[in-house]
Amino acid sequence: MSGPGFDLARVRADFPILRQEVRGRPLVYLDSAATGQKPQAVLDAITRYYTHDNANVHRGVHILSERATQAFEDARETVRRFIHAKDVREVIFVRGTTEAINLVAATYGRKHVGPGDEVLISAMEHHSNIVPWQMVCDAAGAKLRVIPVDEQGALRMDAVDALLTEKTRLLAITHVSNALGSVNPIKELVAKAHAKNIPVLVDGAQSVTHFPVDVQDLGCDFYAFSGHKLFGPTGIGVLYGKLSMLESLPPYQGGGDMILSVTMEKTVYNRVPHRFEAGTPDMAGAVGLAAAIRYLEAVGMQNVSQHDQWLLAYATEALQSIPGLKLVGTAPHKTGVLSFTLEDVHPHDVGTILDQEGVCIRTGHHCAQPLMQRFGVAATARASLALYNTREDVDALVKGLQKVKEVFA
């Protein structure tokens, strides 16, 4: 496989945080599945917004409010373009993936899930795509059902048809597993679900960072993702929803901006998307997210994807050559996530020793405890890759793991 398809050294130079030493060694950041680092372009966009344009949106008649509103709505258009939504009104700004899913649970779930109904998820979901549905099901007297995963961590597609029943009100499923890297065949799943008139929500927190996403091509009804994993700021995220679907839903939170008129007797709700954006939104966050998207578009998402696969292949081979190391999650179709266990050494100890070598990884259950139970482990160590990672980063990880083995020899 060929190299990254972009100038890796130049991309690295765009991320100021990577230019530091930690614990006396160059920083090796392999925890981008938890949060992505931010390019200078994002930091500058946020500073520029607060320095020149800050005001509240949609309300003021003055120049700053005009600029802030323009910047916020421009950001919405940037997001639309990035995920190939048909209409800019299909982009709702929220705090992050978690809030996006909760929004759907609180509106669609409350309206459509009733006693005896079912919500279908998968065994590889993050807690944020499990718990809201448990809450919906508990409140409605409905049942949560789960598509299993196989030994490699791939979705058991053979089990899907039987689980999509006339009782299923929604399929809520991740595009990419945060703990395994497995990529789910969303288009095929949407076709299966839609054949039975079941809408589909996709958790895209881990996918938009790794490869191009086209919500129209996927055909899904909802798509959720976070700004911070996408190399943008924290506190901003997106819920995409098909316009017809969004227009059929009750409001989410009540407050300013989500209304057209309010009397003490009656409120007329605003149009989509503002109906779902009560209160002052995170304007700077939206501006920062748009800057991150423009940055990724300049690098090219196809190139990002190629780099991801190139580095994943290198890292997989390097880790598999370490005796006693077991990769958890070896699905044929996956992104740059390497979850592993190392003999009898607990992942926390692995993480602490790697940290002393300047290598940052994630250890624990990755907010996917049911998945950990599926694989019979309490936790794993997880190295996750992003566009700024190099083969040298992977080499440092491997060297650090040798150190772990020395300590526990």
Cβ 329 vs Cβ 33: under 8 Å: no
Q: Rounded to the nearest whole angstrom, what is the least distance from the CB of residue 407 to another protein in the complex?
A: 5
How is residue 337 annotated by DSSP? E
94, 105, 292, 379: which one binds another protein (CB under 8 A): 379
Measuring CA to CA, how many Å separate 359 from each of 330, 366, 382, 383, 392?
Answer: 23, 18, 12, 9, 11
Instruction: Count CB-CB contacts under 10 A for residue 18.
Output: 18
Helical H runs in 263-379? 283-299, 301-320, 347-356, 369-374
Q: Which stretch binds another protein (CB under 8 A): 63-71, 162-170, 317-325, 399-407?
A: 399-407
Which of 362, 335, 364, 397 is CA-nearest to residue 174?
335
Residue 131 engages another protein in binding (rule: CB under 8 A): no
Helix pair 391-407, 301-320: axis angle to 10 deg: 30
The nearer residue to another protein, 6 or 408, going by C-beta atoms, is: 408
Residue 294 engages another protein in binding (rule: CB under 8 A): no
Residue 407 engages another protein in binding (rule: CB under 8 A): yes
Measuring CA to CA, how many Å separate 248 from each of 50, 104, 169, 170?
Answer: 36, 12, 15, 15
Q: Which stretch binds another protein (CB under 8 A): 113-121, 162-170, 364-372, 389-397?
A: 364-372
Cβ 182 vs Cβ 153: under 8 Å: yes
The nearer residue to another protein, 48 or 403, going by C-beta atoms, is: 403
Residue 345 engages another protein in binding (rule: CB under 8 A): yes
Cβ 196 vs Cβ 208: under 8 Å: no
Residue 408 engages another protein in binding (rule: CB under 8 A): yes
Residue 134 engages another protein in binding (rule: CB under 8 A): no
Residue 272 engages another protein in binding (rule: CB under 8 A): no
The nearer residue to another protein, 204 or 400, going by C-beta atoms, is: 400
Q: Rounded to the nearest whole angstrom, what is the least distance from the CB of residue 257 to another protein in the complex?
A: 35
Residue 353 engages another protein in binding (rule: CB under 8 A): yes
Residue 363 engages another protein in binding (rule: CB under 8 A): yes
Residue 106 engages another protein in binding (rule: CB under 8 A): no
Residue 378 engages another protein in binding (rule: CB under 8 A): yes
Measuring CA to CA, how many Å separate 230 from each of 36, 101, 238, 289, 385?
Answer: 6, 17, 11, 8, 12
Residue 365 engages another protein in binding (rule: CB under 8 A): yes
Out of 137, 220, 360, 367, pick the active-site residue: 367
Q: How far is CA 371 from the centre of its chain?
A: 17
The nearer residue to another protein, 152 or 356, going by C-beta atoms, is: 356
Residue 314 engages another protein in binding (rule: CB under 8 A): no
Residue found under tokens 């009804």: 221
Cβ 36 vs Cβ 208: under 8 Å: no
Q: Rounded to the nearest whole angstrom, what is the least distance from the CB of residue 352 to another protein in the complex?
A: 6
Residue 347 engages another protein in binding (rule: CB under 8 A): yes
Q: Rounded to the nearest whole angstrom, what is the least distance from the CB of residue 357 to another protein in the complex?
A: 9
Q: Is 137 a catalytic residue?
A: no
Cβ 208 vs Cβ 199: under 8 Å: no
Q: How many residues bind another protein (CB under 8 A)?
A: 21
**What part of residues 11-40 is at the interface with another protein (CB under 8 A)?**
23
Work out the end-to-end distance of the chain between its first and last CA atoms, rounded to an integer number of angstroms. Answer: 36
Residue 348 engages another protein in binding (rule: CB under 8 A): yes
Residue 343 engages another protein in binding (rule: CB under 8 A): no
Q: Which stretch binds another protein (CB under 8 A): 143-151, 204-212, 235-243, 349-357?
A: 349-357
Q: Which stretch binds another protein (CB under 8 A): 27-35, 132-140, 264-272, 363-371?
A: 363-371
219, 322, 356, 405: which one binds another protein (CB under 8 A): 356
Torsional sign, CA 98, 102, 104, 105 = positive
Q: How far is CA 336 from the centre of its chain?
A: 14
Residue found under tokens 């990529």: 183
Paired sense of beta strands 118-122 and 143-147, if any:
parallel
Residue 329 engages another protein in binding (rule: CB under 8 A): no
**Which positions are annotated as active-site residues?**
367
Give the binding site for another protein (CB under 8 A). 23, 344-349, 352-353, 356, 363-365, 369, 372, 378-379, 403, 406-408
